[in-house]
Each structure stands twice: as C-alpha cells, then as structure tokens.
Amino acid sequence: MSERLVGAGDTVDAPFGDTVDVLLVQLGSTEGLRVADEQLVASLRRAGVHVVVAPAARPSEIGTLMLTDLRWARAARHAAVEALAQLRERPPRSVIYSTTTASLLWPLPGAIRFDSVSAANRPGRHGLWQRPLERRRLREAPLLLPSSAGALAEAAAVVPGCERRALVVPSPIANRFCDKGSLPQLAGERHLAAVTYAANPHKKGLDRVLTAWRAVHRPGERLAIVGVTPERLRQLGFAADDESVEALGMLAQDAYHALLRRARVFICAPRREDYGLVQLEALAAGCQLVTTVAPGPYVALPIVRQLDPRLVGENLGTALRTALDSPGDDYAARAAALVEPFTVAAVDRLVAEELLPRLVGGDRFSEGSRSSLR
C-alpha cells in the first residue's frame, strides 16, 4: 500500500482503477497532529485499507486565532478539492477530515477526527465564526472520531446525541515504547533528571516548569527542554546561562524517544491539554510524570493520579522532588499496564474490528485479515 501524499501540484501514485477506500484530509498544523495522522494512516493500511492523504499547505502566520483558523480551513478545503479532482475516476469510499478546523469549509461531508473542539479551545472572540460552523459540521458528519472520551464529551456538550455517531480512536504510542520484553526501569542508566516538551511555550507552561525547576533542583541535576531552541528561550526572557537547563530544539522522533529513556521524570504544566501524546509516551518510556491539573481532554491525567497522586498538583517543585527522591514502587511496570489501551497493537485491533465496518464497510475486508491483527 505504498503511495505518495497528495498536495499542490502532486499526483496520486496508485495504479489506475484501484479502489480508494479513504481520503484523509490532513491539517497537520502541529507536530502532534502530524504524528497522530501518520499513526492512523499506518493503522488503516495495516488493516488492508487503501488510504490517500491530502495535506493542507501551511499558510503564512497571522496574529489572531480567528484568521489563522480561516487560513487553515481554506488550505484544507483546497487540498480536499484538488485530491478529489485527481481521484474523480475512482472516488474514495469515505473521507476523514483531521480536526474540526479541516472540516469547516469541506467540499463534501465526511468523518471528523479531532482531539478537541473549538467550543472548548476557542473561547470568546477567538472562536466567533468557528464555533457555530463547527456545531453544524458536527451535526452533519456521518461519523465522529474523537481521540479520547474527554474530546467526545466536549463534542456532546455542543451537539447532544452526537456520541451515537462516534467512535473513540486514541492516538497510539510509538511501537518502540511498548516492547514488554524490555520494560524500562527508573534507575540505572537514567542519568537525566527531567525532560519537558514546550513547542508552544505558553500553552505548555514552560514558565511554570522553569520556575519550579530553578527552585528545587540540586547540583548535577539537568533539565532538557524539547521543542525550544536556546535562542527562543532567550527571546522568551529566560536566562540561558543556567547550566542545569538545556534547550534542545525540535528532535527527530528516535532522538526524542532515546532522551525519554534516559530521563527519570517528565515534568509539564500545561494551561490546556487537548490530548497529551507526549505525556503518554513519557509514561510508556518509564518516566514518572509530574504535572499540574489542566482543562481539556488530558488523557494522562487520570492515569498519573492512579499511579502516584503525589506527582499531580500546583506545587510542581514539591512534586518534582518527590519523584526524584522517593519514586513510587514499580511505577514503570504499572504505567506500562495503564497505557496499554494506547499502544499500536490495541489501536490496530480497534481500527480493524470497529472502525472499518463503520468507515468503509466490511465487504472487502475478510474476517481473516482482521483477526491477523489480534
């Protein structure tokens, strides 16, 4: 099932006459969304689905969320229209719009994949035009694919009853974290005290993380910040001469995952969390998760509360020292069990057994091909 992405000036690289099962219109406005889309596409293809991806071209940045969303929605519509034109001889059996923003100006109805809704993350003037149009799209979509139960609850608050047309499909944790034969430990080779991720420094609460770190860290302990360069850190007004803090910028996935396996703690203080894949990855890698409470469908929050409630709260400094000085018993093993529903294998089963019949029907997909994923 090898094919190229469809984009501006691109063509579909698939044999003429092949049935296209799914066209995925990809917004990809953040690294997290792009990774989630790649994982969903990979899962569908492992189930035997012929998927073509139409990525929206990134628009130029602008100051307000209202205009930013409008530009992204127009880019998604353009990508969908162009892909459908290329596929006019063999139209896709179904369309998935990745995010509600991608669906706002859709050329035809389809399933909507989302980790949050504008009604929740675009309050007040930030979502004046998006919220009413989103409500209409949520009513019109034949299938809703929220990435968490929390995201579904947000949608149901906007359109009561929409849960009857919904299937929760989590964004899975990378395979390399889920090898039970090499369960990560919290001691030994874990020489790095803490890691945080701050591609969006304000939303991820980098200021709060750094305040807590500088208040409680001890000589020799280091904090690695992923997603922010040293230059950007200085622009944000944070001192760059603290040898205990290292800004690494964006890392390739392999390098990021290797970093997590060297760290004892993943610390974060999000002001809102629409899903929190990086936190799930940290738990799967064997890190203890220290976090504040945050609004939004924060899927790791109930997990970390169950693992060690001492590590959740507004006093990040105290929680960080607790994690470093007196980690909970068997934390990594218990975390691995609790994140199992978010593994690639678990999501593959869900896609094959529950999503496929609702998305494209089961006539082309034998029970044997689905059972092979179990």
- What digits encode the pLDDT tens for the residues 216-252? 999 999 999 999 998 888 887 776 557 899 999 999 8
Q: What is the mean pLDDT of residues 131-142?
A: 96
Q: Between 300-307 and 331-338, two packed helices, what is the crossing angle to 10 degrees?
A: 150
Where are the domains positioned within the chain? 22-172+343-371, 176-341
Contacts of 91 (CB under 8 A, 6+ apart): 20, 84
Summary mean pLDDT of the chain: 88
> What does DSSP say about strands 245-249 and 223-226: parallel, antiparallel, or unpaired?
parallel
* CATH assignment of 22-172+343-371, among 3.20.20.70, 3.20.20.140, 3.40.50.2000, 3.90.1150.10: 3.40.50.2000
Could you please state the CATH topology (level 3) that the domain comprising 176-341 is classified under.
Rossmann fold (3.40.50)
Please indicate whether the domains covering 22-172+343-371 and 176-341 agree at the CATH topology level: yes
**What is the per-residue pLDDT for 313?**
96
What b-and-e string marks burial along 108-117, b requiring 16 or more CB atoms within 10 Å of the CB?
eebbbbbbbb
**What is the per-residue pLDDT for 169?**
97
Q: Is the pLDDT of residue 17 over 70?
A: no
Q: Is the pLDDT of residue 373 over 60?
A: no
Residue 35 binned pLDDT confidence (cut-offs 50, 70, 90): confident
Residue 175 binned pLDDT confidence (cut-offs 50, 70, 90): low
The residue with tokens 């001889």 is 89
Spatial distance between the Cα atoms of 273 and 193, rounded to a whole number of angstroms: 23
**What is the per-residue pLDDT for 123?**
86
* 294 or 180: which leads in pLDDT: 294
